Chain A
Amino acid sequence: MNNESGVYVDLTTENKSSSWWAQSANRYAATILMLVVIGSVWALLIDSRWIYLLVYVWFGLAYGMFLQYGRFCMASAVRDLFAVGVPRMAVGIMIGISLYSLIAAAVKVGGFHTVNPHPLGWHIIIGAFIFGFGIIFTGGCASGSLYKTGEGNMGSALVILSISFSQAIFVAMSGWFDKLVPASWVASATAKAMPEELSVTQGWFDIFTAGYIWDLKGATAADMLDVSNPLVASFLADSFLVTILPASLIVVVLYVYYFRKGYMRRQKLQRSVMRMRDHLSGIWAMITSSKNTAIAGIGLGVFAGLHVWVTGLLREHYGIFNFGELLADMGHKTGLSIQDTVFDPGYWYITTQEAQWGAWVMEKAGVGMRDNIFFGLENGVPSPLINAPGFMSIGIILGAAILALLRREFKWKRPSMETAIFALVGGCLMGIGARIALGCNIGAYFATVSNGDPSGWLFLLGMVAGGYVGVKLFNLWLSWRASQFDDCPL
């Protein structure tokens, strides 16, 4: 069997004599898929408007499959680049955002709203740095941890648990932390005259949101350049300038610093005689060196774009801006914010729905979670049974599980004490970082730059810096740890 670097002998043995159904892994995969189908039909029979939630489920399923297929994880993009000099994941992400941006541009030309630009400020770099540092220790980014949970990795499930509760606690906590907030933020938050039940001057995250974030501005490239022609605005300003051009430049940098030397050696090329054509062939070789990653990048980019489009169609069909309106119409008012809204991005997003899971559990335990902007005013605390983006996360886990089972890569894995501590502490840093930066590697980077919002590049900058420092520390830890093992002279 061939691989990219040459020829290897594949000794993998499968019981090919037995039928497809007789193999237990296939049966488990088929059972999961059937349960999702049955659950979907059941929900539609109850009320056809659940289609809105089911769109999240099925796109989640597709995301999970692509993530598992390409081992698509942004932690890997940063970590493998600095730790082992492998650019494959960073390249895969550049492919993903480029395709996503083209489809998002088409969706915008079609008249649908896509993504609100994030406010530009230092919080993005600071939050992304904390997030990037955390992902080195957890072994997976926000979406990476979901697909790895689908592969049976319980360490990754701990990461999700930690992200969920750390965010919920972080945005709702009040007390000592409030003293760290500048007085100007408190004054600005007070001036917003928000409803009393939100108590926005108590709780540092509320003050941060109302007194700092709301005073910042964000815009897409088309807005900044004041382009009115929809085609030029979407394809040239938002897609080309914000996504495709920077992504192409990053691919060239990755080629020069991480791939060219090895490529020249394999092709027996001398740098002094290399022509532009040779370099372009080298860049293409880098892009296609991991076909799984490239295919996953294409799939995720296309599906993420389609997701925005399908949700846009449904919003138009039901005449709503937010799923909360539909839930209220269907009689599910519990868990909605005071504006009758819930978290409903309409695109691929990870962390906020996990914060809602954490908050919902804490509410059930008797902790008040809604006297704040994050839950009380904006996202609500819906039950996991009606949390549409939450079902997207569950879909990712199930999609990854289906593919991992079919590929014989599913394995229940219990974390060691070391891995569990890293998962909990790293997950906590990821949760805190994501809230400060107003999103994770998906919501604050992948989905923003792909929709013409340049703030995502600031997130990447911070995440890469945090990841770099994390890799340095992790390497020191690993060397020390190896010296502790009896049979490991590394």
Chain B
Amino acid sequence: MAVKFDQTSAGHYQLDVRGYSCPHPQLYTKKALQKMSNGEVLTLIFDNPSSGESIMAMCENEDNELFEREDKDGSFIWKIRKGS
């Protein structure tokens, strides 16, 4: 089980933290967003439901936009656009 963070195309990144529980997903998400530039998109894949609520609040606080989400059978694929 390893965390994966890579650039999938220009302006698009993917962070896969499946298998990890709190606090890993939210902390890795914060680190990933810090690496990215404004307007770039992060596809976040995680399977720890508890982290979702914190990630949503973090996005709101830091002006990052959660614009697409797919939640299925305990796995979550969220798309976040980095704000200012």
Contacts and interface: CB of A to CB of B under 8 A. Distances in A.
Interface string B9-41: 000000000011111101110111001000000
A228 interface: no
B72 A12 contact: yes
Given A85-B58, A88-B57, A485 B3 contact: yes
Interface string B26-69: 11101110010000000000011110111011111111011111
A6 B63 CA distance: 10
Contact of A71 (B4, B50, B67): B50
B77 to A, nearest CB: 8
Interface string A165-203: 000000000000000000000000000000000000000
Given A84-B26, A289-B57, A490-B31, A419 B70 contact: no
A11 B70 contact: yes
B21 A12 contact: no
Contacts of B1: 416
A156 interface: yes
A83 interface: yes
Interface in A99-115: none
A290 B23 contact: no
A479 B27 CA distance: 10
B84 to A, nearest CB: 8
A8 B25 CA distance: 20
Question: Chain B: interface residue count, which band?
Answer: 35 or more
A248 interface: no
Interface stretch (A125-133, A147-155, A376-384): A147-155
B61 A86 contact: yes
B49 A404 contact: yes
Interface stretch (A236-244, A271-279, A322-330, A406-414): A406-414
Contact of B68 (A8, A13, A411): A8
Interface string A72-99: 0101100110011111110000000000
Contacts of A489: 5-6, 35
B35 to A, nearest CB: 7
Interface stretch (A40-48, A212-220, A257-265): A257-265
How many chain A residues sit at the interface, stated as a range, is 35 or more
A487 interface: yes
B73 to A, nearest CB: 6
Given A156-B21, A290-B53, A487 B6 contact: yes
A274 B67 CA distance: 30
B59 A5 contact: yes
B30 A84 contact: yes
A73 B22 contact: yes
Given A76-B22, A88-B54, A474-B23, A490 B61 contact: no
A86 B58 contact: yes
Nearest to A490: B31
Given A411-B74, A482-B28, A290 B57 contact: yes
Contact of B66 (A5, A85, A86, A410): A5
Nearest to A85: B61
Interface in A402-440: 404, 407-411, 413, 416, 419
A405 to B, nearest CB: 10
A475 B28 CA distance: 10
Given A416-B19, A475-B27, A487-B2, A12 B74 contact: no
A333 B70 CA distance: 54
Nearest to A261: B61
A139 interface: yes
Among A80, A83, A413, A489, residue most surrounded by chain B Cβ atoms (within 10 Å)? A80
B72 A265 contact: no
Contacts of B28: 478, 482, 490
Contacts of B62: 85, 262
23 contacts: A6-B66, A8-B66, A11-B69, A76-B22, A79-B23, A80-B26, A84-B54, A86-B54, A258-B61, A289-B60, A408-B73, A411-B47, A413-B47, A413-B48, A474-B23, A478-B27, A482-B3, A486-B2, A487-B6, A488-B2, A488-B4, A489-B5, A490-B28
Nearest 7 CB-CB pairings of A with B = A411-B74, A139-B22, A5-B60, A11-B70, A409-B49, A71-B50, A86-B57
